[in-house]
Amino acid sequence: MRVAMIDHISLGVSSLARAGLFYDAILEPLGFVRLFSTDRGVGYGTAGAKDEQFAILAAGSDAQAPGLGSHVAFTAPNRAAVDSFHAVAIRIGAVDDGLPGLRPAYGPGYYAAFVRDPDGYRIEAVVHEPT
């Protein structure tokens, strides 16, 4: 049995309400849903999962995206999901940081898109296609 290297990841956000709406919208095309919501945070994962794999936490004015080289990559089931992730993100206020497309420098069959969320985090959706 393979054990996951990372149990979960969380990001501090300046506005939990705004970030919750943003992540609800961009994660839906990838097949992820909101698993819980409290005054302190919102957790996401696959429908029916017991625990979240990704969370956003209320950090207020202390929220600060890391610098160059840091990002969070979400698994997409197919190219259409990557395309939808990007289109939805841009429509609701994200900044484009890489249009959907093949990234042969990252590996054969690597299809991805990148955006910056409202707090400046670099967010990716990626599908690894068979070659």
In the chain, domain spans = 9-128
> Could you read off the pLDDT of 113-130 as tens digits, one per residue?
999 999 999 999 999 999
pTM, full prediction: 0.94
> Could you read off the pLDDT of 49-59 as tens digits, one per residue?
999 999 999 99
pLDDT of residue 4: 74
Q: Does residue 2 carry a pLDDT above 90?
A: no
Band of the pLDDT at 68, cuts 50, 70, 90? confident
CA–CA gap between residue 27 and residue 88 (Å, rounded): 10
Helix (H) or strand (E) holding 26: helix 16-27
Calculate the average pLDDT of the chain: 95
Domain 9-128 architecture: Roll (3.10)
Q: Are 75 and 53 in contact (CB under 8 A)?
A: no
